[in-house]
Amino acid sequence: MEQIGKILIDEEKIMKRVAEMGTEITRDYQGKELVVICILRGGVIFMSDLVKQIKLPLYMDFMAVSSYGMSTKSSGIVRILKDLNEDIEGKDVLIVEDIVDTGLTLHYLVDYIKSRNPRSVKVCCFLDKPSRRKVDVEVDYVGFEIPDKFVVGYGLDYAQKYRNLPYVSVLEEEDL
Ligand code: 5GP
Please give the tally of structural domains in the chain.
Answer: 1
- Kindly state the average pLDDT of the residues 28-55: 97
Q: Give the distance (Å) from ligand 1 centre to CA of residue 117.
A: 27
Which residues lie with the beta carbon below 6 Å from any ligand 1 atom? 42, 67-68, 74, 97-106, 150-152, 156-158
Report the distance separating Cα 169 and Cα 49, nearest Å. Answer: 19
pLDDT of residue 5: 86
CA distances from 78 to 38, 45, 135 (A): 16, 22, 14
pLDDT of residue 2: 79
Range of the domain at 126: 3-172
Neighbouring CB atoms inside 10 A of 77's CB total 10
Of 147, 138, 158, which Cα lies nearest the Cα of 97? 138
Report the distance separating Cα 128 and Cα 132, nearest Å. Answer: 9
Q: Give the distance (Å) from ligand 1 centre to CA of residue 99.
A: 6
Catalytic residue flag (residue 101): yes
**Residue with more model confidence, 72 or 15:** 15
Report the distance separating Cα 79 and Cα 163, nearest Å. Answer: 21
Q: Give the distance (Å) from ligand 1 centre to CA of residue 70.
A: 12
**What is this structure's pTM?**
0.93
pLDDT of residue 34: 98
**Given CA atoms 159, 102, 137, 12 in this order, what sign does their dihedral have?**
positive
Identify the CATH number of the domain in which residue 63 sits: 3.40.50.2020
pLDDT of residue 72: 54
